[in-house]
Structure 1
């Protein structure tokens, strides 16, 4: 398997044909050129965006948090709640679970720095919040590495965190969010599970730290990362990140009951 590849127009057309796996929400909602693009899921933290606004913007679903807010912050979308999840599901929108509590430079440090014991604790928290909101019993949770780390840091610290997560959830229910190298290392070290889409794994890759490359096993690609200097599109009045679905099975709850 090559280390990386580019998403071609032909790939995008194939992904668009996989909308049934992501729910019917995105069908017929886009522009006349929507069929040429991959289905998209948005991620956000500040507040719960109403399902009707997500549908109106043409997105197929959300990646939402199964983690709480850091000290001193209050993010309205952390964690996802059962009523909100039910509203998304009723609208035909897909839901994928993501865990991130700490952040570089935040009031809590990056989660992976907590090592093996931290991985155990984080996995238990993630799964409790995931199931409380109605998450699928076999659905993965994507655990976040939100910074550019080197291989030594991965081997010494982050990998141990993922081993702790695996000890609670098992490999098959564990996913990773990060740049292309983190996705590759997680896959090579066997700490993330496999999608039912052939050749794909629970790797949610961000464009950050990826050099315009997309890992061929990734199921989600964060193509738009909203920042103060480069804000993402507005959905329901909130700037969001936009993720391309690169597989029919990206870990959405409705496929993993």
Structure 2
């Protein structure tokens, strides 16, 4: 999309925070994406900015959702003081919403249909803005399950329509496997990055069969599990995400 001179300058400044980004824009496979700058995601507690920088990461994907019943995650939701500390250290921030999960104390968010999407979008946007999130930045809403096309069309899509009714499709992103990302883009319920050919798709390697969606802006290459632990940053295990586009939805590019 066309951008003004001021927006172009802001774009360049924000992109500069992601070292080596030009290599990331060409990433098309997990192997190629390994050279990309990385963002980490985590829920257990807030990791000090200096520890994130020391580990070589360019920023974080943090939650704009609260903890499920029976849990108390220190990084949910992101707070204004923590966001300011991250920004002051030159780290970028991307917003993600996930409250429920399969087998958790609250069901997967997408199972609650259109009305649930409305409620989730209102909650996400309130927490996003309270922490200083950019007014045009997207929130990535999680589809943390291996869904089929029928589930997408009959259950997940109405949920995204509800989200869109509150914050609009352009500020809506998806986290999920490759098929969920493709379906979301095809049905027009997620927005477009300023990076050509990219949409607000944060793809996880789970349920993706070793493929990377060419239009994704983020790729979750390391998913920390009990059987496959992730790297430790600031004393806790984290997931690691490759940045595949200069505009991956970072707040400072979308004030």
Report the TM-score when normalising by structure 1.
0.88
Residues 1:131 and 2:165 aligned together = no
Q: Unaligned stretches of 5+ in structure 2?
A: 1-10, 21-33
**Hey, what's the Cα distance between the residues in 2 that align with 1:222 and 1:25?**
16
Q: Which runs of 5+ in 1 are unaligned?
A: 1-17, 28-35
Matching residue of 2:76:
78
The alpha-carbon deviation at position 20 of structure 1 amounts to 5.5
Runs of 4+ in 1 over 4 A off after TM superposition: none
Q: Is the 8 A contact 1:26 1:55 kept in 2?
A: no
Residue 181 in structure 1 maps to residue 179 in structure 2: yes
Paired residues, what number?
A: 233
| Alignment equivalent of 2:59, drawn from 45, 58, 61 | 61
Report if the CA contact (8 A) 2:173-2:191 is conserved. yes
Specify the alignment match of 2:147 in structure 1. Answer: 149
Question: CA separation in 2, counterparts of 1:100 and 1:219?
Answer: 19
Q: Is the 8 A contact 2:18 2:37 kept in 1?
A: no
1:23 positional shift = 4.7
**Aligned ranges for residues 1-257 of structure 1 at < 5 Å?**
21-24=14-17, 26=19, 37-257=35-255
Secondary structure in structure 2 of the residue aligned to 1:47 = coil
* CA–CA separation in structure 2 for the residues paired with 1:191 and 1:198: 18
After superposition, what is the alpha-carbon deviation per residue over 1:17-59, rounded to whole angstroms, capped at 9, x for unaligned? x9964453757xxxxxxxx810100000000000000000000
CA contact (8 A) 1:26 1:59 kept: no
Change (3 A) 1:232 1:20: farther
Aligned CA distance change for structure 1 residues 22 and 47 (closer, same or farther; 3 Å): farther
Following the alignment from structure 1 to structure 2, what is the Cα–Cα distance between the partners of residues 47 and 251? Answer: 23
Q: Call closer, same or farther: CA 1:98–1:225 in 2, change over 3 Å.
A: same
CA RMSD of aligned residues (A): 1.6
